[in-house]
Homo-oligomer: A and B are copies of this chain.
Amino acid sequence: MRTARVTLADVAAMAKVDRAVVSRVVNDDPTLNIRPETRQRVLAAIKELGYRPNVTARSLRTARAHMFGLFIPDFANPVYAEIIKGAEAAAAALGCVLVTGSATGAGLVGYMDLLGPGRIDGLLLAGSGEDTGLIEQLDRAAVPWIMLNRRSPAVERYVILDDERAARLAVGHLVGLGHRRIAHLAGPSGADTAQRRFAGYSAAMREAGLPDGPIAAADYTPAGGAAAMGSLLAAPDPPTAVFVANVASAIGAMERLREAGLEIPRQMSIVAVHDLDLASYLAPPLTTVRMPLEELGRRGVSLLNGLKPDDSVEEILAGPMALITRASTAPPPHD
């Protein structure tokens, strides 16, 4: 059944009404006065012909694309997978599709070229740092955009998670287990999330009446985590527990601990931010703080919808957050 293409006009012809009537029925326009039987005729014709509105034509006329964009640095990172899921669900609920692109820096600007005027109703920017050129391009194109899970100086368009609270949860767990010397394996100092997690760590330690433990920064990679763990171990008074800003770093840190012959959690407890499936497969399974990442994606799209290009958005998402206790944390050794 090669239905060549069914348009409003076909339906109108079959139902013996004007195209305008069909359009108004389809969008159930409240200003339309229509006899019930006419409406039935139209509805029947639509079903009979299998009519489905042409989104492109509609977009052209209404100047709404019914499409949102989401840029992430890397599909392979499970953190973004969760964000995507949420964003996609929210978009679908609005009758929109989500196009997710992975690109950073200059790639982003190039990608934007594909998304010419009229193609997209709003853009979510997750992770990554470089936005030189992109932001002015977005402003020029008058497309609303929001940063997800990061802030940038002088940009009031973001929704982030409460990383500070996450850090408090993690540190609180370690303190509760009896740890006193708690190190922090931080994220890259330039990263906004890293700064907030560090702030939370510091605040939690202060509140517990403990001095900051040794601190080492690493990029969010296993290799970085391994190196930073090395420097933490070399500290004069080595910690009995470490709060790691990120699971990827934690993987490297655990490897380094294994090499050093330290048993987890008997000799060293470790807890990290972001609960990924992966965490439960590690040896030992890693205690983590579960963040509302899906919610973040959902919220991002919701805010984008109806946002004017000039509106500002500044939100710290207070979604459900939980400590997932696994085998990588335990009370400190009795020494």
Interface set of A (CB-CB < 8 Å, partner B):
1-3, 5, 50, 52-57, 59-60, 65-67, 74-76, 78, 80-82, 84-85, 88, 92, 95-102, 110-111, 113-119, 139-142, 222, 251, 255, 258, 277-278, 281-283, 309
Contacts and interface: CB of A to CB of B under 8 A. Distances in A.
Given A56-B60, A99-B99, A101-B97, A5 B117 contact: yes
A117 B55 contact: yes
Given A111-B92, A142-B2, A222-B281, A52 B101 contact: no
A222 B95 CA distance: 35
12 contacts: A1-B139, A1-B140, A2-B142, A52-B116, A53-B116, A55-B115, A75-B75, A84-B102, A96-B114, A97-B99, A99-B100, A255-B281
Contact of A75 (B1, B52, B60, B81): B81
Nearest to A60: B56
A141 to B, nearest CB: 8
Contacts of A65: 56
A109 B2 CA distance: 19
A102 B75 contact: no
Contact of A56 (B56, B75, B92, B282): B56
Contacts of A85: 75-76, 102
Contacts of A50: 140
Given A59-B56, A100-B100, A140-B50, A76 B277 contact: yes
